[in-house]
Structure 1
Amino acid sequence: MRLGMVIDTSRCIGCHTCAIACKHENNLPRGNWWNRILTDGGSQMDTPAGDWPNNSMSYLPVNCQHCENPACTKACPVGATYKDPETGIVHQDYDKCIGCRMCIAACPYTGVRSFNWEEPEYAIDFPVGGAVPAHQKHTVEKCILCVHRVDKGLEPACIAVCPERARHFGDFDDPESEVSKLIRERECKQLLTSEGTNPSVYYLV
């Protein structure tokens, strides 16, 4: 399989529901976001480009691209970031991670990984979300496509909660899957194709 997602940018309303669901489902520490909604407009979040009345604004959700040819796995000296040969999901093993951050340096997609400089802190004093590994000091972390949900036959949290159905999840190796049909029938793009990573996240335009 080659699991990944298709995001319809024409339907994304920038509500950040996917980012919040990701944070809750993966019990992310304070300050960590695996899923961000960038504003393709002004210089700050949720600000339009242009001058009134000729303004424009659109959104670009960004997370780990789960590349078919990931640069991060080649850079990691200890195999802490690796690609699952059965699903194509790029994983992160906190127990193996030595905190060298070579994966961050190698990844062409800025901001999709975060590093825990200190012991993780949380807004509340009990864990939330699914059965995820405990976050650790001096480790890199990132989107793992909610593999704990996928293993149970469920969609990643960000897919399940999107109110506008802008996100779709499936197997790109299955020509009859929804994601395969979408990229076959609609105009789409991938981010930084010049890097040769072949991301498993496609954006409908």
Structure 2
Amino acid sequence: MTETKKRYAMVIDLRKCVGCNACTVSCKIENQVPDGVFRTWVKEMEKGVYPEVTRFRLPRLCNHCDNAPCLAACPVQATYRTEDGTILIDYDHCIGCKYCMTACPYDARFVNPIRKTAEKCTFCYHRVQEGLLPACVTTCVGGARVFGDLNDPQSLVAKLVANNPVQVLKPEMNTEPMVYYIGADRDIMGARYTNLEKGGN
């Protein structure tokens, strides 16, 4: 009997996100992300016209897409996919051309100002390989982030996707993202009402 390959995914329950940015801080510490750039961040947005205004929080990160445009865009194959579907970057081969940044529809990539290579969320792959959860998941005080094997029907992440109306960012791009949101506002997912960008300031 052939063993089913793992397919890692993340579910973010926006009903539980309190906007504390613990995920952002823990990610920067765990992955030694330089000042001014982010692997994950919480986007703060508003919808409506005063005085009828609603405020939303939308945690963002690389979506580790099944149909990832960054893979085809990289001229030196520095961006690659692991057997479990995680999208990673070989920093020794990356030439910092920014083609992958242009190809990504989620603004999830940046150039590391120290290393001068592309960088992004890796689902804390070094931790996952050791049986640990991504740093952002372990420090989420509201329990809004859930990570696991989507191909395991008994995993919490698979159950959440199966039993809740979930949304992905920009579904019209057909990238098949592996980051799912619960409790998202359709307009906000299109980011048409943005007023605060990365860093939340």
1:194 aligns with 2:198: no
1:105 paired with 2:102, answer: yes
Matched, 1:84 2:82: yes
Structure 1 gaps, min length 5:
43-48, 121-135
Report the CA distance between 1:175 and its aligned residue: 1.5
CA deviations 1:39-95 (Å, max 9, x no partner) are: 1216xxxxxx5424x33212000100000111101111111111102x111001111
In the alignment, is residue 144 of structure 1 matched against residue 140 of structure 2? no
CA distance in 2, matches of 1:19, 1:93: 23
3-state SS, counterpart of residue 15 of structure 2: coil
SS at match of 2:91: coil
**What CA distance in whole angstroms lies between the structure 1 residues aligned with 2:142 and 2:14?**
11
Find the aligned partners of 1:92 and 1:192 in 2 and give their Cα distance. 23
Amino acid at match of 1:17: A
Give the aligned partner of residue 148 of structure 2.
170
Question: Which residue of structure 1 lines up, in the alignment, with residue 72 of structure 2?
Answer: 74
Q: 1:132 is matched with which residue?
A: none
Give the C-alpha shift of residue 37 in structure 1.
0.5
Q: Unaligned regions of 5+ residues in structure 2, if any?
A: 1-5, 184-201
Give the Cα–Cα distance (whole angstroms) in 2 for the partners of residues 190 and 55 of structure 1: 24
Which residue of the partner structure matches residue 28 of structure 1?
Answer: 33
TM superposition shift of 1:192: 1.1
Q: Is structure 2 residue 57 aligned with structure 1 residue 59?
A: yes
In the alignment, the residues of structure 2 paired with residue 55 and residue 77 of structure 1 have an alpha-carbon distance, to the nearest angstrom, of: 44
Structure-1 separation of matches of 2:49 and 2:57: 15
Following the alignment from structure 1 to structure 2, what is the Cα–Cα distance between the partners of residues 40 and 9? Answer: 13
> Which one of the candidate residues 131, 135, 142 is aligned to 1:153?
131
Write the letter of the residue equivalent to 2:29: H
Query: Does residue 1:184 correspond to 2:162, yes or no?
Result: yes
Task: Tell me which residue corresponds to 1:115.
Answer: 111
- Given the two structures, how large is their TM-score scaled by the length of structure 2? 0.85
CA distance in 2, matches of 1:70, 1:155: 23
- 3-state SS of 1:31 partner: coil
Q: Deviations over 1:153-172 (max 9, x none)?
A: 00000000000000000011
1:18 to 4, 16, 23: 23
Provide runs of 4+ in structure 1 moved above 4 Å. Answer: none
Shift of the alpha carbon at 1:195?
1.2
Number of positions where the alignment pairs a residue of Structure 1 with one of Structure 2: 178
Q: Deviations over 1:142-188 (max 9, x none)?
A: 00111110011000000000000000000111122111110111111
